[in-house]
Amino acid sequence: MLLLAFALLGTAITLAVLCPRLFAAGRWHLFHPRAALTVWFGTFGVGVVTAFSGIALGIVSVESLRHAIPHTPGVTVSAAVWVAAGIAGLALAFAFTFSGSLQSLRPPSHSHAVAYAREEHIGFTLVRFHSETPEAYAVPGRRPEIFVSSSMEQLLTAPQLQAVLAHEFAHLRHQHGLAMRIAQINALFLPGIRASRAFERATRLQIELAADDAAARQVGAAHLANALLVLAAATQDVAMTLRAERLSRKRWPAPGRRRVPQGLQVASQLR
């Protein structure tokens, strides 16, 4: 059983190191971001279960050996396995508690945002704040919030603004803050700072594209693409232009099949 335990731990380490590299390779994930995130989340879950299964099996194996052969050096091995289990548990708790990735969806300007209106909607609180920068972002938590700046309200039309809200709501609904947290945890296992940063950037891109797709299905790809082009022109953000072009290359449900969540039917109220 001890060999099986080492095999499980080796498998977990292999998944932690190799899967992020495969996740960020190629271009398939650019057109199927939701599938890519699902595959990666599944792989991460398998890796976590495999790691703890290996540790648990190692503990059982060593304890069984120590009781079966009292005069073997099993006590030292058993202590080592228990220490390893404790370190793994503390590392995981530390990563989840202090990684701070629930803040990763917020721009640096968040700390300076001064809200002038807060509106309760189904699934989130809409926070409107004064800013010369056109921006919107989601803040997960017990009571999720979507922040929209005054300059963005002035810059976009009502349908475009609703598309942006749908994008931000998708971040909340699909737990993209948690995705960034897990990406940062998984990045701890990658050798080299460059690999860790590349994986975090790839994850951030995937959640943005997945949110684009969700919003396009709900309110229409044309409205979101137009909003991205307007924002790209205002902020000189080339990435938004590329995201808008990507939306134009995909096929989307007919208007009659769109289902806009009730909490998102608020864009016209922002005028």
Give DSSP secondary structure letters for 2-16: HHHHHHHHHHHHHHH
What pLDDT is stored for residue 11 in this prediction?
A: 74
How many domains is the chain built from? Answer: 2
Cβ atoms of 137 and 147 closer than 8 Å: yes
Residue 102's pLDDT band (boundaries 50, 70, 90)? very low
What pLDDT is stored for residue 100 in this prediction?
A: 47
Question: 126 and 93, same structural domain?
Answer: no
Mean pLDDT of the chain: 75
Question: 132 and 157, same structural domain?
Answer: yes
Please name the helix (run of DSSP H) or strand (run of DSSP E) that holds residue 162, with its range, or none.
Answer: helix 158-173
Highest mean pLDDT among 26-35, 43-52, 184-193, 206-215: 206-215
Residue 227's pLDDT band (boundaries 50, 70, 90)? very high
Residue 202's pLDDT band (boundaries 50, 70, 90)? confident
Query: Is 104 inside any structural domain?
Result: no
Question: 195 and 131, same structural domain?
Answer: yes
Quick one: what percent of the chain has pLDDT higher than 90?
28
Rounded Cα gap, residues 271 and 266, in angstroms: 10
Query: Is 103 inside any structural domain?
Result: no
Question: 154 and 261, same structural domain?
Answer: yes
Question: 201 and 121, same structural domain?
Answer: yes
Residue 231's pLDDT band (boundaries 50, 70, 90)? very high
What pLDDT is stored for residue 104 in this prediction?
A: 46
Question: 184 and 89, same structural domain?
Answer: no
Question: 172 and 128, same structural domain?
Answer: yes
- Boundaries of domain holding 204: 111-270
How many residues appear in the chain?
271
Question: 180 and 63, same structural domain?
Answer: no
Query: Is 115 inside any structural domain?
Result: yes
What pLDDT is stored for residue 142 in this prediction?
A: 84
Question: 224 and 125, same structural domain?
Answer: yes
Highest mean pLDDT among 10-14, 107-111, 129-133, 199-203: 129-133
